[in-house]
Amino acid sequence: MRRLKERRIRLLLSVVAIAAGIAAIGSASFAATAGEVRVAIMGDCKGAFGFAYELDIGGAQTAFAQFAGGKPNDKKKPSAGMTGIKAGGKNVRIVGYGCGDDTPATALKETRRLMQQLKADVMVGPLSGDEAVAIANWAKPRPAKTVIIGTAGSQDPTLQIAPKNVFRYHGDGAQWNAGIGEIVYKKLGWRKAAIIMDDYSFGWTSGAGIIADFCAIGGQITKRVFPPLNTTDYSSYVRQLPPPGQVDGYFWVVGGTGTGPALKAYEQAYGPIKPEQHSGNLFLWFLTGKEDVAPRMIGVYVGGFGTAPGLKTKATDQYHAIVNKWYPGQPADDGFFYNYYQGTRALITGLNKSGGAVGANLQAALPRSISAPFELSDKGIVKLDANRQAVQDQWPVQIVKNAEGNPSVQLTGYVPNVDQSFGGLFTSKSPAPGRTQPPCVKKTLPWQGKIREVKNGVVTNNVIK
């Protein structure tokens, strides 16, 4: 009996010791150091956009290196980290890299880990549309935390949700497609088109820009098809599209790893691709050099990504030199890289102005206008609107054959000062883009009839007719 009593006591003591240990683990090791600013960079390391992980981090850290004294640990691998960052007189520590997979649930889990456990004051990110919707909703009741969207293009975070602590220094998915509808209407004579778009918020927002632009000038979208993100077999979705004789063209808004398979499924259903019958959003850029369908896309007009590859200005030369200095070999003209770079530049500017203070002070100090290498309007300055959303020049491109004979992108148009509202079509009271939103309506957009041709990287005075 006495031995049993001793065992009971030992057991109890063990339980208490284990509990104390757990409590120690729980409360230890992630305490913030006074006087430092804690930053998290949130990208996708898995899923449809996992390939962009190093691009996201590379873009952000290039800005830290150039403007805040950061030293890369490995110039070939941005996720190896960076030290020595200082802004506003304070040390800036990158406390962690978020590993998303383009789903809201993982984005929220990573946000809690980075912002609550690792106590980040600021997040630069995320990458993907629905991640940004989730994080904007998370940030709304947490005003002490600041979010600078990395490259997510869903409309909701800065229009329908629009928390005061969420900023976006690049266009949304709709803005990126400004001008493409007008280009195919005028240059290719499209009047009726079908659109196939990924069934999630970025797909809807990107598609919304194409639909708004094409319908505004008089085009009609006769069919909308929605394959889920991460679909691998597109045959049933392609079969929902009208056959080539019934429409003048097809808009493709199918991304990540799905672009190539979707186009191949089209060829299996309707025969080889004819470039004059196809257009789409930035996802078509990623085909170039990677998919066997890419050579048959030469001549296709494609929406922009907020960057202007091949633009010949002093600002772009300086930008390329900066990227080459810190992370040589990184694709500076890639939107994932560039948008994170710009967002981090803004953060550094804000910290310098706030003296390293975070929270509401930082949010007040974050710039409402910032110079941008791929901006020509207002002498190269991107401004934020009242919802902290960038108003940005856009650059439709065309897939062409480069000097080596491989598919590449070339600037084809310049659309100045594109705002998120599309001239009042999208408002905070209008439903967020979706399967039926926006409707196809004729409207005058601010840039209609003002899109200028770009030849060999130089913006001409010729308006596209």
Q: Which is nearer to other proteins, 16 or 463 (by Cβ)?
A: 16
96 lies in the binding site for other proteins (CB under 8 A): yes
Residue choice 6, 12, 236, 401 for contact with other proteins (CB under 8 A): 12
If binding means CB under 8 A, how many residues of this protein chain bind other proteins?
54
Contact range with other proteins by CB under 8 A, out of 65-73, 102-110, 248-256, 374-382: 102-110
53 lies in the binding site for other proteins (CB under 8 A): yes
Is 47:100 a contact under the CB 8 Å cutoff? yes
Helix axes 335-354, 53-68, angle to 10 degrees: 40
Which of 340, 390, 354 lies closest to 369, judged by CA?
390
Please give the distance of CA 210 from its chain centroid, rounded to a whole number: 17
Helix (H, G, I), strand (E, B) or coil at 156: helix
Residue 416 CA: distances (Å) to CA of 394, 428, 444, 447, 450? 6, 23, 15, 7, 8
Helix axes 129-139, 201-216, angle to 10 degrees: 110
Binding mask 228-267 vs other proteins (x if CB under 8 A, - otherwise)?
A: xx--------------------------------------
Q: Which is nearer to other proteins, 35 or 141 (by Cβ)?
A: 141
Residue choice 64, 167, 200, 270 for contact with other proteins (CB under 8 A): 200
Is 389:380 a contact under the CB 8 Å cutoff? no
Helix axes 129-139, 104-111, angle to 10 degrees: 40
Could you say which residues in the range 201-230 bind other proteins, by CB under 8 A?
Answer: 201, 228-229
Q: Order of strands across the sheet with 369-371?
A: 369-371, 381-384, 390-394, 413-418, 452-455, 458-463
105 lies in the binding site for other proteins (CB under 8 A): yes
Is 66:322 a contact under the CB 8 Å cutoff? yes
Q: How far is the CB of 12 from other proteins (least distance, A)?
A: 6
122 lies in the binding site for other proteins (CB under 8 A): no
Paired sense of beta strands 122-124 and 90-100, if any: unpaired
Q: How far is the CB of 364 from other proteins (least distance, A)?
A: 20
CB atoms within 10 A of CB 268: 12
Q: Which is nearer to other proteins, 172 or 393 (by Cβ)?
A: 172
72 lies in the binding site for other proteins (CB under 8 A): no
167 lies in the binding site for other proteins (CB under 8 A): no
26 lies in the binding site for other proteins (CB under 8 A): yes
106 lies in the binding site for other proteins (CB under 8 A): yes
Contact range with other proteins by CB under 8 A, out of 154-162, 173-181, 214-222, 370-378: 154-162
Is 158:141 a contact under the CB 8 Å cutoff? no
112 lies in the binding site for other proteins (CB under 8 A): yes
Residue choice 160, 177, 307, 412 for contact with other proteins (CB under 8 A): 160
Is 380:371 a contact under the CB 8 Å cutoff? yes
DSSP letters, 398-459, are EEEE-TTSSEEEEE-EEEEEE-TTTTTTS-TTSPPS-SS-S-------TTTT-PEEEETTEE
Q: How far is the CB of 1 from other proteins (least distance, A)?
A: 7
Helix (H, G, I), strand (E, B) or coil at 63: helix
Q: How far is the CB of 193 from other proteins (least distance, A)?
A: 22
Q: Which is nearer to other proteins, 15 or 458 (by Cβ)?
A: 15
Distance CA 249, CA 262 (A): 15
Contact range with other proteins by CB under 8 A, out of 199-207, 304-312, 363-371, 373-381: 199-207
138 lies in the binding site for other proteins (CB under 8 A): yes
Q: For 273-293, give one letter per residue: b (16+ CB within 10 A) or e.
A: beebbbbbbbbbbbbbeebeb
Paired sense of beta strands 220-225 and 301-302, if any: unpaired
402 lies in the binding site for other proteins (CB under 8 A): no
426 lies in the binding site for other proteins (CB under 8 A): no
269 lies in the binding site for other proteins (CB under 8 A): no
Residue choice 40, 45, 241, 372 for contact with other proteins (CB under 8 A): 45
Q: How far is the CB of 204 from other proteins (least distance, A)?
A: 8
Q: How far is the CB of 201 from other proteins (least distance, A)?
A: 5
Q: Which amino acid is at 226?
A: F
Residues that bind other proteins (CB under 8 A): 1, 4, 8, 11-12, 15-16, 19, 22-23, 26-27, 30, 45, 53, 79, 96-97, 99, 103-106, 108, 110, 112-113, 116-118, 129-130, 133-134, 137-138, 141, 154, 156, 160-163, 199-201, 228-229, 428-429, 431-432, 434-435
